[in-house]
Structures are given as C-alpha cells and as structure tokens.
Chain A
Amino acid sequence: MITQEVLQERVAIPQATESLSPERVAYLEKLVSQARTAAAVFTQFTQEDVDRIVKPMVLAGLGQAQYLARLAVEETKLGVMEDKVLKNMCATEFTYNYIKDKRTVGVIREFPERNLVEIAEPIGVIFSITPITNPTSTVLFKCIMAIKTRNAVIFSPHPNAWHCCSEAVKIMYETALKHGAPEGVFSCLESHTLQDNAYLMRHKDVGLIDATGGPGAVKAAYSSGKPALGVGPGNTPVYLEKTADVSTAVVDIILSKTFDNGTICASEQTVVIDDEIYDVVLKKFAELGTHICNEKETELLARTVIDPATGCMQPMAVGQKATDIARLVGLAVKPDTKLLIAPIQGVGPEHPLSVEKLFPVLAVYRAKSVDEALKVCIDVNHAGGLGHTAAIFSRNDEIIRKFGEMMNAGRIIVNSPGSIGALGAVYNDLVPTFSFGCGTGGGNSTTDNVNIYHYLNIKRVARRTQAHMWFRVPNQIYFNLNAVENIRQFPSRSTVIVTNPSMEQIGHVDLVRRNIPEGTRVHVSVIPDAEPEVKVVMQGVEALNFYKADQIIALGGGSVIDAAKIMKLKYESPEADLEELAAPFLDLRKRVIQYPTEKVNHARLIAIATTSGTGSEITPFAVLTDKERGRKVTLADYSLTPDVAIVDPQFVMSMPKGLTADTGIDCLTHGLEAVVSSYGSAYTDCNAMQAIRMAFKYLPIAFEHPEDEEARSMMHNASCIAAMAFSNASVGVNHALAHAFGARFHVAHGRANALMLPHVIAYNAAVPTKFVPSPYQKGYLAHKKYATVADLLGLGGHTIEEKVKNLIVATEQLLDQLGFPRSIAELGISKEEFERAIPELTKLAFDDPSWRSNPRMPLITELAELFWKAYQGRGLAKVASASQQTS
C-alpha cells in the first residue's frame, strides 16, 4: 500500500549503521545467530518431522484467529475485526490445505521420464517485513511457510502493528517449539528502527528478505544486495463488460472492496463500466448499500482522502468504514452505507481518485466502447498497479483474453471478487498467499502468489539421459543386377529423368526408359557432368514445372542425384531458401531452420546410382556448389532422401579406373568416418564395418579388373551400405577437410578424401586435445573402433596402437595401389599458394557441418596441421617401412 506514512517511514534506505549502538548491534547479532543455529539444526529434520510441527501451528492459528484479529484492529485502528478473523483463518487453514501434502524436504518432485529429480534446500535465515494492513494474517502465513520449508525467520512488523504481530509470532513459535521445532526458529524485532532493518537486510547470514509492504520496504529489500521477495502496491482496474452477470458482479465488487474496509491491496480501485450497462450497474450498487457521489461530492471526497501534494491516499482514511469517511468528508449518507462510489472522467493526477485507495471508496468510469474501456484499464494499471492485480467481469471469452493480454498483472481475476480472488484458493485455483508478487512492473522478482516454493532453493539432480537415436533409410532399395527393372512398378503420368550427357551417350538413359511403364510421358533433363550449381538446379526446377512431373528419376553419380534432390525440394516447396536451409546446426533434431513440410507439388524421387561411392541414392544430404563464393553448401535433411534407390551394377560396369578409385575411396571414407562418429550406434557400426570390409576387398579388384562383375556389384553395394551408416551416423573431419580443399583447388571429392584419410585416422586415434560433447557415446572410443576394424580386416597387431597403425598402413597401401597422389604437393600446388590458402581452408573446414560428429573436436590449428600433413603426404618409403614393421 502507498500512504504518506508508509512513504515517509520506508522510502528512505539507510545505508549506514553507525547510528546503531553497540548494544543494539549485539542484540541484532544475537537474533541472527539464534536464527542461523535454528536453521542449521532444521536441516536435519525430515518431512515427517516438519509436518508434525506444521499441523498444530495451523490449529493454534485457527484457535487464536479472533484474538489476533481483535488485537490487530485495536492496535492498527484499521479494517474490520470479523474480516480479519477470516483473513487469519485463510492464512492458516487454506495455506495448510495447499501445503499439507506437498513435499518440501529432500526429494520433492521426480520426473522419471526426464531423468530429473528436484531436491529441496532450505534458505536458512529469512528476514521478513510485514505490513500494517494484514498484520497477523501475514505473520501466520509466513510462519507456516517457514516451518514447512525448514527456515528460520526474523520478523520486522510495521511499527503500528508490532504488538499484534509479535503476539502472532509468539503463538506460532511456542506451538512450533512444543512440537519439536528448533529453538530460535522465529523471533520478532523489538521496537525496531529503519537502521535495524537496514542492518539485518545486509547481514551476511540472512539468506532472503521477504518484504510485504509499501514500495519503500520493497525497494530497500531489493537494494540490499540480498535475494529478496518484494511484493508491492497495487491499483486494481476492473472491467465490467456488458455481457457480465451484473448482479453477481456488483455483489462481488462490494464484498471485495469492503472486505476489511478495503485494506487488501488487490481490492478493486476503479471499475470501468460499459456504457450500455452503466446506469443499471450504478442502480444495483445503490440498491445494495452504496452511496453514489455526485460531481460535487466526488470533488470533495478526492480533496479529503487523497493528498493533493503527493497524489497518494491519506493515511487517516486507510482501512476506515465508508460512513466514517463520509463523515470526515462531510457527505450525507445513509447509516448502512457500505461503499462510496465516485464517478471519474479519466485517470491520472487530474483525477485524484484514480489511484490506489485502501478504503471503501471506489472510482467508476463510463466507457463508450471496449477499446476505450481497455485503454482506461491500462491507464489505471499503469497508475501504480503494474504487476499486481486486475479483474474483469464478462461472459465474452475473447474480451477476457484480450484483457489478460493487455493488463500487466500477476493475477487477472475473472468473474469474482478481486481481493479475495487474488488471495487464492477461495474463488479460484490460485495458490493461497498473503504476498502478491508484482513482477518487474512492480519492481519485484516474481509475479507469483508467494508460496512455499519461494522459500526453498530447489536443486535439480539431472541424470544422463539415454539419447534418442535413429536409423533412417529409404524404405525401398533394389540392388543387384537388373534391379532397374523395378522401376516398372511405379506408375507415373509424367517422369523427368535428370541425368548428364555421358549417361545418354553410353545408353544408360535408354536402359532406364525401357523400364518405365508404358503411357508415361518421359522427358530427359540433361545437366552438366559436374557438381551441381544453383543455376543448373533452377533450370531443372523449371523443367519439372513445365512437364508437371510426378516422378523424378535421377540417373548418375552423386552430383546428378544431389542436383535432383534439390530440384525436388524447390519443385515441391518453391519458397525454400537454399541459403537459409544450409544454415549451420549442431544437432539435426534441434536445428533452428526447419525444412518445408508444405508442398505445392509432389514427386517421387527414384535415384539410380551410376558410381559406387557417394551413396547419394539413399542419403539425406546434397552438396551444392556455390561457384561465386568458391565453396560448397551442404544441405542435410531426411526429407531430401530419395523415395526409391536402385543399386544396379550394370550402371557402373563402364566406370573408368580413375572414377572407380575416387568413388571407391569416398565409400571407404564414409565407412571409416561413420564407424568412429560420435553419432554412431550398433545400427550404423554394422553397416560401416561391412562396407569397409567390402571396400578393402573389392575396390582393388574393381580397379584392376573393371570387367569383374562381382567386384563391381560388391563395390556398388558397399557404397550403398556405407551410405546407410553415414546417413545416420554422419561423417567427420575428413569430409570437412576434403570439402574445403576440393572446393578451393577444384579437386574431385574422392581424391580430396584420399589425401586426408591416413592423417585423419591417426588424428582421431590419438588422445583428443578437445573432446566433443556427445550424449550418444560413453567414453572415447575412436581408437578402439579403428582397432576393431583392423581386426575385421585381419590386419594383425596385439595392442590398440598396433592395430590402428596397421589400419593406417593398410589404407596407405590401398591408396598406393589405386594410384592416388600421395600428397597435395604432388598435385602441383606450390607451398606458397597452399600457405596463402590455409586461413581460408581452415575457416571453411571449421564451418563445415561434417565434423560435428567427429569423435574429437578439431581446433583451427589442428585443421591447419592436418592440411599440412596432407600437403606433405607420407611418401611410399614411409609406407613401406611401416608395412615392414607391421609384418
């Protein structure tokens, strides 16, 4: 509440404690010491111990409700004794009803599905300021909360309510002590001063300040540097909307505003009434014992109960009866008048009665429209009531929702009395309280009805969760010789074959055409035999639109299939922004950018691989070349995965040796990266290892004997199987390096991979400089996984180190066998040129999402080191020497 008295007394925040005598300091220190000891002893109590104390305290409070109410009225000269009895009963019985079954000791909540457990930790010593308006009820409420949460409290009641409050503390303390509470758990400052409050607010052993009172007390609490629960003043607007049940609304407002003579700060202050019902409402008010002031009376009333200098209510009016206020003002009212109603024409200093009035005087405003009514309510809300309480009477859900959105109030009370409604548990399911959090609008830390959970530190024990993993591949993969015949089972009106010129030349396009069901309109879209560019993709999309394709057959290597994937994406979702979709991400499932799900077209994508390496026919990835920026953009999303994959070796029989080697090493790299990936699982390991085994065995044969059907078929399957692994486990730093290097120096992807591969195996097998966070893996496994691969390949070795070394040697030998350049230098790139490129290369590699699943996190310096190793290569001599050592 805001009164001059309160403002004068509490706005000042004494900074120094010099004025405290040594005796006073000793007294305050003793209080804190006792409370600290009590709080410490309290930590040993169980939930059962605590609950055994709380119940008799509640009963004692209920038993003394009338006694304490009488004391409060006698001492403060505010409010209505009968209402204060109800407040004391609410503060005890309703609070108990809310807290009785709640756990506040040890484990208080468990979330097994989230592997989370919450454990309560008491705060310790709480310094509590209590108000004059609700003195004993607030004390009872806070004592019960403190015991339930195992805290000790030092009370500092309002000076004009000290006697009744100290009596309430005494009743609570004696009862608590009798039932086992620690000695010193409650104390009440005797005849305190602001210096006492300042001293205690800043005391190192006070854990929390709970200030229920005026803005000064709240500000002092928040300024102390201590955690504080400050709950401040209100100015409750009420919107009485035309669809409301007027009879109920009027009774509720009278009941609420006159309860304890209006001392509850959540009580109604200004009622904004729709024009259509204004007269009826005022008539109802009058019928039920309300005096409606005329213009002159309103002016007189404003002048008397509001201080013109401060604009705040006069203290002498607070908590007084309507008839007493009328007498004070000089108004002639009936003896049974409950409430004075003053019509106002606006809100603000020119309309003094639009402020908070903690007495039975209510301002009313006639609103011509919903819009005007909401605006006036906003004005009232902002005239000292931010964050506190607002109320509405209406049957219109839309208006209630709008009102809720417009009001900055912790409690928005609907179709019920504001004051008692805000207290909770009577008219609604709000948590019962005697402290209203007003949020940042009121300078408070919470908008909650302050309750037991604000008296606890809640610790969360978070166990490691079992990360959800996945294994996703197209649901239809047709493999082995003549698998292309399966195209016949897919009906289509219009099919576009996306391919490149060489496929037409060698007759692969005709082979596909022959297997497309009759009656299908078939069109061939030929794209350049190179990694796809944005321009090429968009031309393909135009073709798809022109032919209204319902099926796309991608016939080619990784570049063609990648192009087709992106064409399909742009065809089905023209608004898709490729640049945006390529945005970096850490976890596929938590990425910021989502791929479009709404589609304007639908087309089946059948991918027929004509190389054995990329595995693009089943992967959710597509690489796009951005020539202008000299980089590659990787798109990744399962929506890119082709619907059908055809892995038919007849399409790879004519692959030239160089392409066989390049793509075969890409396949091997996929397997070797997936097997150590931090996203790896048993599902991907089996595929990765099988693909590695097949590549080591059949790649040299397919290279040396291109006509060997079995070797070709096995390598084609190996490529697809490796893709199953890396589609789900992803790849690693090898690909990040190869993408950057390949784009910058225009080196084929497989060849770029080959240059990095042995160095990356050695790098990943070493103890990481930096581990990569991975909920999917337990411990560091890369070196062990490589050793397992070495075992699978029968490479020998006794220790993990030996096995890893043998794997590196075997990889080197394979690369040699396939005739790969063994260093970047061999490609004719000068050292100077490479050196100049290193900063850009490392930046590109670090930006590449491929390494996110790498088992160790590559530092920029390490990426540079790996590039330099690849530049220098290992050389045949070293390989031979290592080979001899192994044998």
Chain B
Amino acid sequence: MAMMAVWLKIDEGRVVQALQEAGEKLDSAEEGVALDFSSVRRVDASVLREMAAFAGIADRKGVKVELRGVNVNVYKVLKLVKLASRFSFVN
C-alpha cells in the first residue's frame, strides 16, 4: 500500500466540513489523500454532493483519493450514485 501524504479522519458529525477541509489540503497532497471513513455510518445527499465535488477537485489536481474503513452500506450508496469509481478503497 502506497503511503499517503495527507491522512484525515472523517467525523460522522461533520463530514461535509471535513471534506471541505480535505479539499483545501489537496494542493499539498501530491502523493494522494487518505480519508478515514470508519466512523461514518451513513451519508446523506449533502455528503454525496461534497464527495462528488471533492472527487472533481482531486481529479483536476491529479491527486489520488483513498477512502479507508468505508462501511458496506455507505459503499453501496457510493456505487448507486456512481461515485465509487472515483475513489480507491482500503478496508
């Protein structure tokens, strides 16, 4: 597993803000960003919007985004909204 330059723990209570903060750090994350979703049990539409936006920024900047500890329910949501293909996943 490649080392990620930026590693962020995502708190379920503030996923949107955490993603926005992560977005700001994308410039300094040349090797990639790892987001720890292990405490996120559910996602809603606002989270999904932010994740789509985050994936877009990461794509433009050529930064690889790795989601860690995503639970299976959330993973299924990401598959249904076709966001899963825009991230890599590590259990």
Asked if B43 lies at the interface with its beta carbon under 8 angstroms from chain A, I say yes
Asked if A340 lies at the interface with its beta carbon under 8 angstroms from chain B, I say no
B32-80: which have CB < 8 Å to A? 42-46, 48-49, 73-74, 76-77, 80
A232 proximity list for chain B (CB < 8 A) = none
| CA distance in complex: A860, B57 (Å) | 62
Nearest to B52 among chain A residues (CB) is A37
Asked if A233 lies at the interface with its beta carbon under 8 angstroms from chain B, I say no
B42 proximity list for chain A (CB < 8 A) = 41, 44
Asked whether B46 lies within 8 Å of A40 as measured between CB atoms, the reply is no
- Contact (A39, B80) CB under 8 Å given A44-B73, A44-B74: yes
Asked if A791 lies at the interface with its beta carbon under 8 angstroms from chain B, I say no
- Contact (A183, B80) CB under 8 Å given A43-B73, A44-B73: no
Asked whether A38 lies within 8 Å of B45 as measured between CB atoms, the reply is yes
- Contact (A43, B46) CB under 8 Å given A36-B81, A37-B81: no
A41 proximity list for chain B (CB < 8 A) = 42-45, 48, 77
| CA distance in complex: A183, B46 (Å) | 9
| CA distance in complex: A40, B46 (Å) | 12
**Taking the nearest CB of chain A, how far is it from the CB of B51, in angstroms?**
11
Asked whether B44 lies within 8 Å of A40 as measured between CB atoms, the reply is no
| CA distance in complex: A38, B44 (Å) | 8
Asked whether B73 lies within 8 Å of A183 as measured between CB atoms, the reply is no
Interface residues on A, range: 10 to 19
B77 proximity list for chain A (CB < 8 A) = 40-41, 43-44
| CA distance in complex: A37, B44 (Å) | 8
Asked whether B74 lies within 8 Å of A40 as measured between CB atoms, the reply is no
B44's partner among A34, A36, A183 (CB-CB below 8 A) is A183
B44 proximity list for chain A (CB < 8 A) = 41, 182-183
A182 proximity list for chain B (CB < 8 A) = 44-45
Nearest to B80 among chain A residues (CB) is A40
| CA distance in complex: A37, B45 (Å) | 6
The listed residue with most B CB atoms (<10 A of its CB), out of A38, A44, A184, is A44
What per-residue 1/0 map shows which CB atoms of A408-442 lie under 8 Å from chain B? 00000000000000000000000000000000000
**Taking the nearest CB of chain A, how far is it from the CB of B81, in angstroms?**
5
B81 proximity list for chain A (CB < 8 A) = 36-37, 40
A-B contact number at CB 8 A: 36
**Taking the nearest CB of chain A, how far is it from the CB of B85, in angstroms?**
14
Asked if A124 lies at the interface with its beta carbon under 8 angstroms from chain B, I say yes
Nearest to A33 among chain B residues (CB) is B81
Nearest to B47 among chain A residues (CB) is A41
What per-residue 1/0 map shows which CB atoms of A36-62 lie under 8 Å from chain B? 111111011000000000000000000
**Taking the nearest CB of chain B, how far is it from the CB of A112, in angstroms?**
26
**Taking the nearest CB of chain A, how far is it from the CB of B68, in angstroms?**
19
The listed residue with most B CB atoms (<10 A of its CB), out of A36, A37, A182, is A37
**Taking the nearest CB of chain A, how far is it from the CB of B70, in angstroms?**
12
**Taking the nearest CB of chain A, how far is it from the CB of B4, in angstroms?**
27
What per-residue 1/0 map shows which CB atoms of A164-185 lie under 8 Å from chain B? 0000000000000000001110
B73 proximity list for chain A (CB < 8 A) = 43-44
A44 proximity list for chain B (CB < 8 A) = 42-43, 73-74, 77
Nearest to A45 among chain B residues (CB) is B42
A251-277: which have CB < 8 Å to B? none
| CA distance in complex: A43, B48 (Å) | 14
A732-764: which have CB < 8 Å to B? none
| CA distance in complex: A234, B81 (Å) | 39
The listed residue with most A CB atoms (<10 A of its CB), out of B46, B74, B81, is B81
| CA distance in complex: A183, B42 (Å) | 14
Nearest to B81 among chain A residues (CB) is A40
Asked whether B48 lies within 8 Å of A37 as measured between CB atoms, the reply is yes
Asked whether B45 lies within 8 Å of A183 as measured between CB atoms, the reply is yes
A43 proximity list for chain B (CB < 8 A) = 73, 76-77, 80
B43 proximity list for chain A (CB < 8 A) = 41, 44
| CA distance in complex: A43, B46 (Å) | 16
| CA distance in complex: A39, B80 (Å) | 9
B48 proximity list for chain A (CB < 8 A) = 37, 40-41
| CA distance in complex: A780, B48 (Å) | 49
| CA distance in complex: A124, B76 (Å) | 13
A494-527: which have CB < 8 Å to B? none
What per-residue 1/0 map shows which CB atoms of A14-52 lie under 8 Å from chain B? 000000000000000000001011111101100000000
**Taking the nearest CB of chain A, how far is it from the CB of B71, in angstroms?**
9
| CA distance in complex: A44, B43 (Å) | 8
B76 proximity list for chain A (CB < 8 A) = 40, 43
| CA distance in complex: A26, B36 (Å) | 34
Asked whether A124 lies within 8 Å of B80 as measured between CB atoms, the reply is yes
| CA distance in complex: A535, B81 (Å) | 74
| CA distance in complex: A213, B76 (Å) | 34
What per-residue 1/0 map shows which CB atoms of A797-816 lie under 8 Å from chain B? 00000000000000000000
A39 proximity list for chain B (CB < 8 A) = 80
| CA distance in complex: A22, B44 (Å) | 29
| CA distance in complex: A39, B45 (Å) | 10
What per-residue 1/0 map shows which CB atoms of B6-26 lie under 8 Å from chain A? 000000000000000000000
Nearest to A184 among chain B residues (CB) is B45
Nearest to B49 among chain A residues (CB) is A37
The listed residue with most A CB atoms (<10 A of its CB), out of B44, B73, B76, is B44
| CA distance in complex: A124, B81 (Å) | 11
Asked whether A36 lies within 8 Å of B80 as measured between CB atoms, the reply is yes
**Taking the nearest CB of chain B, how far is it from the CB of A149, in angstroms?**
15
A184 proximity list for chain B (CB < 8 A) = 45
The listed residue with most A CB atoms (<10 A of its CB), out of B45, B49, B76, is B45
The listed residue with most A CB atoms (<10 A of its CB), out of B43, B48, B74, is B48
A-B contact pairs, 5 of them (CB 8 A): A39-B80, A41-B44, A44-B73, A183-B44, A183-B46
List of 9 A-B pairs having minimum Cβ-Cβ separation, nearest first: A40-B80, A183-B45, A40-B77, A40-B81, A44-B42, A44-B73, A37-B45, A41-B44, A37-B48
Further pairs besides A36-B81, A39-B80, A41-B42: 18, Cβ < 8 Å: A37-B49, A37-B81, A38-B45, A40-B48, A40-B76, A40-B80, A40-B81, A41-B43, A41-B44, A41-B45, A41-B48, A41-B77, A43-B77, A44-B42, A124-B80, A182-B44, A183-B46, A184-B45
